[in-house]
Homo-oligomer: A and B are copies of this chain.
Amino acid sequence: MSETELPEARADAEVETESQLDRDDRLRPEFVQAVLDAVEAGDTETARALVEPLHPADVADLFELTPHEERAALAHAVADLLDADVFAEMNDYVREDLLDALEPHEVADIASELDTDDAVAIIEDLDAAEQREVLRALDPDDRAAIEEALSYPEESAGRLMQRELIAVPEHWTVGDAIDYLRGHEELTTDFWEIFVVDRRHHPVGTCALSWILRTPREIAMADVMKREQTLIPVDMDQEEVALRFQKYALISAAVVDDSGRLVGMITVDDIVHIIQQEAGEDVLRLSGAGEGDINEPIRFTVRTRLTWLLINLPTAMLAAFVISFFDGEIAAFALLASLMGVVSGMGGNAGTQTLAVVVRAIATNQLTSSNTSRMIVREFRIAATNGVTLGLLIGIGSLIIWHRADLAVVFGLAILFNNLVAGLAGVLVPVTLDRFDIDPAVSSSVFVTMFTDSMGFLSFLGLAALFGVHGTG
């Protein structure tokens, strides 16, 4: 009876879910509003009924879409639906917001339901006093696992890994492994590969579950497993881990300590967030927007962005200083002041193009010292082609508008020259920073803009002075 009823109930839930999400799989604004209205009206019943059918990832989204000041009330209304999975899916800042409202033992309850990696993600953001209290409320095994994870650097493999994994000795057969899995209730169910270890607990091979299912019971694990493995050192940076997963198309990977012992496992579902985050970070860093997290408290955002604007101020002043050398020319022929911005602006655009390409190529390991010189030549050729085309176009255009051959030549040449500056600076700045182990995404654009602005004004106004371009010409 319950067998036949279950699918129908599910089908209903699915239809409901459909109406909560738009075609891009985002919560509909009307749905969010309905939940918040119910919460505000004190109608907990309705709020719970609306939220219950949601996937944990959507419940997490709901909290992110709820204004800061209404989150506590929402959390109170749907408290029993706030399980560990919801917290694992939630934005760091929003989670912190909610965790602040909970008692340490409640946080400990949530953490103990999670795999180590997710528990660590929740606990690492708490302040030191709260962390101690939560850890004290955990049972000793969980506590030891989480404390060990917290001992590794932030954003390292040690923080990402879960300690729940399946490792079997090399002399076992496939049948032994299956019996072990069937016979031990307490083992994790969240694994895609089994690690084969030697007597010192060093991984010697990896075995996908599909191979185990396709192989007769009597075959030795050592004959089924793949011996070429990608082992992740426990202190490896998460960005590097993400690149390995991507390059070698991994589903999971063994994490080893300094002595080569298997200490944990990282699975690809924890990596996709990082891949997305690290790849998307470049645009935020290049523009000086820091983390760019829209849930970050406003004072942090202001601090990050203001710092960046202040760093850029000297660059802008340098350009102004360059212009001030040509006061006389500008006073005599104010049109120069109108047009000089076109030269610096077009150079800035071209520099940004090259910079974006080079920064991405460095981040994805496509640009290495093997092909740097080829890249420089390539960008120079592109800059020369674009510079000549734009220079001719702008020169001819200005000849038509102002009937001034001297102005046209100066304008066109300055555009060409600044395109070359932009192309070279766009490659050389990030490549040089990378050589000195400075993240090129963070600091390149200040320097590139400095070059394109200053050289743009200098070339245009300098050539105008040289050719004696002035109002009475």
Contacts and interface: CB of A to CB of B under 8 A. Distances in A.
Contacts of A221: none
Given A279-B279, A283-B359, A301-B382, 16 more contacts: A14-B228, A27-B370, A33-B370, A67-B371, A181-B210, A189-B210, A251-B269, A280-B280, A280-B360, A280-B364, A289-B356, A298-B382, A309-B390, A320-B341, A324-B334, A334-B337
A268 B272 contact: yes
Contacts of A243: 24-25
Contact of A349 (B312, B346, B375): B312
Interface stretch (A106-114, A124-132, A136-144, A211-219): A211-219
B386 A302 contact: yes
A26 B247 CA distance: 11
Contacts of A245: 272
A93 to B, nearest CB: 12
A282 B285 CA distance: 12
A457 B337 CA distance: 11
Interface in A282-341: 282-284, 286-289, 292, 294, 298, 301-302, 305-306, 308-310, 312-313, 315-317, 319-321, 323-324, 327-328, 330-332, 334-335, 337-341
Interface residues of A, number: 135
A437 to B, nearest CB: 11
B275 A357 contact: no
Contact of A321 (B249, B338, B393): B338
A335 B345 contact: no
Copies in the complex: 2
Contacts of A250: 269
Interface of A: 6-7, 10, 14, 24-27, 29, 32-33, 55, 57, 61, 64-65, 67, 91, 178, 181-182, 187, 189-192, 204, 208-216, 227-228, 240, 243-251, 268-269, 271-273, 275-277, 279-280, 282-284, 286-289, 292, 294, 298, 301-302, 305-306, 308-310, 312-313, 315-317, 319-321, 323-324, 327-328, 330-332, 334-335, 337-342, 344-346, 349-350, 352-357, 359-361, 363-371, 374-375, 378, 381-382, 385-386, 389-390, 393-394, 449, 453, 457
A374 B305 contact: no
B320 A327 contact: no
Question: Chain A: interface secondary structure?
Answer: helix
Nearest to A222: B3
Contacts of A181: 210, 213-214
Contacts of A453: 341, 345
A345 B319 contact: yes
Given A228-B55, A323-B337, A309 B366 contact: no
Contacts of A65: 368, 370-371
Contact of A361 (B27, B273, B294, B359): B294
Contacts of A393: 310
Given A178-B213, A210-B189, A338 B323 contact: yes
A26 to B, nearest CB: 5
A211 B213 CA distance: 12
A151 B320 CA distance: 57
Nearest to A211: B189
A214 B189 contact: yes
Contacts of A338: 320-321, 323-324, 327
B249 A269 contact: yes
A316 B342 contact: yes
A389 B353 contact: no
A181 B235 CA distance: 39
B268 A246 contact: no
A276 B360 CA distance: 10
11 contacts: A25-B240, A67-B374, A91-B366, A212-B213, A280-B280, A284-B357, A292-B360, A298-B382, A305-B386, A334-B337, A341-B344
The 5 closest A-B pairs by CB, nearest first: A279-B279, A283-B283, A209-B209, A337-B337, A249-B269
